[in-house]
Amino acid sequence: MPEGWPRDARRIGQGATSPGPRGKTHCGSLRARAGCFQYVVYQTGKWKFNNRLDYATGSNGAYGYTSTSDDPHNQLFSYTLTTDYALWANVISRAEFRWDHALSGDRPFGGTAVGAPRDKNAVSLGLNLIYIF
C-alpha cells in the first residue's frame, strides 16, 4: 500500500463459496453453485471506496436461467464500485456502479418480455441516502 495510508483505513480480501453436502447450498437448492470474490476497501476521512469482483458458476437453473451455450453451466462475472460519503452523524450517501456479464455467451439479462432476456450485460447505477439508527 502507498506510504501514509493508515492500516485500519484499507482492507483487501477474497473468498469462495461452494455447494454443501449432496450439492445443496445454504439455501437448500439442489442445483450446484460455486463462486469466488475479491474486494478492496479504502477509507479516508468521510470517504469510503469499495471495489469488488465476483465470479460464479453453476448448473443450469442455479441462477434463474438455462444456458444455451455448448458449456452446460451458467458462468457469470460482476464488478461493483461503491463510493460512500458520511454527510452527517448517522447519515451516509452512496453511489454504486455494477456491471454483470455472462461469460458463457448466454444472454440472461434485459429484454422487454418476462422469460425472454436478450443481453449479455447488465449495468446499473444506484444512488442512496442512508440513515443509520
Which sequence spans correspond to the domains of the chain?
Answer: 7-131
Residue segments in the chain with a per-residue pLDDT below the cut of 70: 1-10, 13-34, 61-62, 70-72
State the burial class of residue 29 (Cβ atoms within 10 Å of its Cβ: 0-12, 13-18, 19+). Answer: middle
**What is the structure's pLDDT at 107?**
83
**What is the structure's pLDDT at 129?**
94
**What is the structure's pLDDT at 54?**
87
Report the predicted TM-score, pTM, of the whole model to 2 decimal places. 0.72
**What is the structure's pLDDT at 103?**
85
**What is the structure's pLDDT at 14?**
67
**What is the structure's pLDDT at 9?**
59
Residues 54, 15 contacting (CB under 8 angstroms): no
